[in-house]
Chains A and B, each alone.
Chain A
C-alpha cells in the first residue's frame, strides 16, 4: 500500500461526495429523519386508550367504578352510551378500543357480596393494545375491589389490614418506562447500517457503470488501495452520523447515557467496519448501482430493523429465528448500544457482543479485499 496513491483515492472520493447532492442529503437528512420519525412517531407506550361505557345501572357505585377508569392515565372514557347496540357501533367504527358494560344489578350484587361481572369488549385487531388493555382494566378493577373490601371491613368493625403480598416494582435503566429510551439507541444502529452499506455499495458499482474502473485498473493502483481509499471517507461520515444521532438522542430526546464513551466509540468503529465492508463487497459483486443499493438495503436495513431486537425482542422469537439473529451483526451492536446508553454496562460484560462484532468485521473485511481483483471478467 502506497501512501500517495491512497491519498489520491481518498481525495478524489471526497470531492465526488461533496459534489453529489444525493449523497450529501442522505448523509445529513437521513439520520435526522430516522431519529425524529422513530423518536416521535414510533411509540410503544400505550396510554389514553379510548373507552365507551354502557352503564345499565347508573348508580353511585357504578359511577364510582367508572371514575377509577377515568382517573387512570391509561384510559380515556370518551362517552357513555345508553344501549348495547350503540356500544357495538362505537367498536365497529373504531371510536373506542374498549367498551365496558356495567350490569343493571351492579350495586345490588356488591351489597350481597357476590362476585360481580363487569363486561369488557375489546377491539383486538391490534392484539398488543388489546392485551395491554386487559391488563390495565384488571389493574383498575383490582384497585376498586380493594377499596370496596376496605369499606366493607370498616363498616363491620374489623381492623383494616393491607393485602398480604404486594408488588413493589422498581423500573431500572428506563425509570419512566419510556419507549424513546429504548428506541433511540437502536435507531443509531439502523442509521449506521443504512449509511454504511448503502452509500458504500454505490461507490464501486458507480465506477464499474461509468467505465472509470477500467481506467483505474490500468494504473499501478492496488485493489487494497482502492478499497481503503474509498472506505475512509465513508468511515468518517459514518462516525459523524453516529455522533449526530447520539447527540440528538441525548440532548433532544433526553435519553440517558450512562456508559463509557470509549466503549460506545469502539463498538461503533467495529460495527462501521462490518457495514462498510459488507457494502463494499456487495458493490464489487453486483457491479451495478441499482442492484448494489437494493441488495445493501435488504442485507443490512431489513435485518437491522426486524431481526436485531430493535422492535421485536429476540427472546420472544421462535427458536429458528433466534438462531438466525445470531448471524445479524446489527443484533450485537443493538445490544451494546442500548446497554451502554441505559445501563452503563462496563466493557467486560459486553465481551461476547464485542467479540462477535470483531469476528464479523474481520471476516467481512477479508471477504471484501478478496472479492476485488483487478481483472475484468
Chain B
C-alpha cells in the first residue's frame, strides 16, 4: 500500500479571493479506492478546494496532483481522468435523459463499442430505465442527482469529486446514492465527497474537517471520535432544556453544553467524577432530570467540540 501512487496529493494549497482566504494551506493525500469526506460548515472552503482539484479554479499557492498530474499546469489532462458533480444540479433540464447521457458521452469520447453498455449502465444505476425520453427537468431531485452522478462517471474516471451531492435529496435516495459511491470505491475509484450531513460522514473511510479554510482534523470517523474529544460526553434528558442549559453553562466542571434533539449533550473532563454532582446541581436549580448517562460521542459532538476550540483560538 505504501508504494502506491496517491490518487490525490495536495501540498500547502492556498486560495485567496482578494483579502479573503478561502482555503488556507491545506495538505492531504488520498489512496485509490478511498472515500474521503470533506466536512465543514458553509464557507469552510470545501467547494473551493474541490474546484481547485478539478482545475476549475487556479490555486494561489501550493500544489495539487490529481492522478499524478499537476492540476494547475495541465488541467485538460486531469479532466479526462476525473468526474465532477457540482453543488448545483448541472445537467440540462431541457434535454431528455438519454440526450444528456449522449452529450456527456460524446464530450468524453466514449468509444462506440462501449457506448451502449455505458448508457444502459447509467440508466440502470439511476433507476431511469424506461424513462430515457423523459425531460430531465421533470425528474424528482433524487433521480436527477443519480443521473448527474451517472453522467459524471460515464467515462470511468479513476477519481470522483462530489460537492454536496445529496443536498435536498430525501433520505432513501441519499442511502441509494451512498451505496453507489461505495460500489465505485470498491472498484478502485477514489471518491472525495463534501457534505454537511453528519450521518453521511459515518459512511466515509476518512474524514477531513474544514473550518475557516483550514483542516482542523482528519482521520477515520472512529479515530476522530476517540482522539479529538478532550473529555467525555454525557447525555441529559430533563423537563426544561432551556433552564438546564443555562445552569450547565455556568457550571465550571462542564466544558461545553449543547442541545441535541430533545436532550442535552455535555462535555466533561471525567464521567465518573462529574455525574452525581451534576444531577444534584440540576435538581437544586429546579430541573427534573429523567436521564443522565455517559454516551459515546457522535461525529457531531466531535465537530462542535473542534469548531468551538477553533472559534476561541481565532478570537485570541
Contacts and interface: CB of A to CB of B under 8 A. Distances in A.
Interface of A: 2, 4-5, 7-8, 11-12, 15-16, 19-20, 210-212, 214-222, 374-376
A14 B99 CA distance: 12
B155 to A, nearest CB: 9
A376 B56 contact: yes
A207 to B, nearest CB: 9
A215 B58 contact: no
A376 B15 CA distance: 13
B227 interface: no
Contacts of A12: 92, 95, 99, 103
Interface residues on chain B, size class: 20 to 34
B143 interface: no
Interface stretch (B72-80, B165-173, B270-278): B72-80
Contacts of B89: 211
B88 interface: yes
Given A12-B92, A374-B75, A214 B107 contact: no
B79 A219 contact: yes
Contacts of B109: 2, 4-5
Nearest to A7: B106
A210 B93 contact: yes
Given A20-B94, A210-B90, A211-B86, A5 B106 contact: yes
A374 to B, nearest CB: 7
Contacts of A2: 109
Interface of B: 51, 54-58, 75-76, 79-80, 82-86, 88-95, 99, 102-104, 106-109, 148, 151-152
A287 to B, nearest CB: 14
A374 B92 CA distance: 19
A211 B54 contact: no
Given A212-B90, A215-B84, A218-B79, A375 B57 contact: yes
A221 B107 contact: yes
Contacts of A221: 107
B95 A4 contact: no
A254 B106 CA distance: 48
A19 B137 CA distance: 13
A223 to B, nearest CB: 11
Grouping DSSP codes into helix (H, G, I), strand (E, B) and loop, the A interface class, with mixed when no group exceeds half, is: helix
A216 B152 CA distance: 11
Closest A-B pairs by Cβ, 5 of them:
A8-B106, A211-B88, A218-B84, A215-B90, A211-B90
Contacts of A8: 102-103, 106-107
A292 to B, nearest CB: 18
A186 B104 CA distance: 42
Given A4-B106, A210-B88, 15 more contacts: A5-B109, A8-B103, A11-B103, A16-B94, A210-B92, A211-B89, A211-B90, A214-B86, A215-B85, A215-B91, A218-B79, A219-B79, A219-B104, A221-B107, A375-B58
Interface centre among A212, A220, A375 (most CB of B within 10 A): A220
Interface centre among A16, A19, A219 (most CB of B within 10 A): A219
Interface centre among A5, A211, A217, A218 (most CB of B within 10 A): A218
Contact of A212 (B91, B99, B152): B91
A218 B94 contact: no
Contact of A376 (B51, B76, B108): B51
A216 B56 CA distance: 10
Nearest to B103: A12
A218 B56 contact: yes
Contact of B107 (A212, A220, A375): A220
Contacts of B99: 12, 15
A209 B75 CA distance: 23
A218 B89 CA distance: 14
Contacts of A11: 103, 106
A365 to B, nearest CB: 22
A270 B85 CA distance: 39
Contacts of A4: 106, 109
Nearest to B56: A376
A376 B95 contact: no
Contacts of B102: 8
A220 B80 contact: yes
Interface centre among A5, A212, A221 (most CB of B within 10 A): A212
Contacts of B83: 218
Contacts of B80: 220
Contact of A217 (B56, B93, B103, B106): B56
A4 B76 CA distance: 16
B124 to A, nearest CB: 22
B56 A374 contact: yes
A115 to B, nearest CB: 77
Contacts of A5: 106-107, 109
B249 to A, nearest CB: 42
Contacts of A376: 51, 56-57
A16 B57 CA distance: 28
Given A215-B90, A375-B56, A376-B56, A220 B108 contact: yes
13 contacts: A5-B107, A5-B109, A12-B95, A12-B99, A15-B95, A16-B92, A16-B95, A215-B91, A218-B79, A218-B84, A220-B80, A221-B107, A374-B75
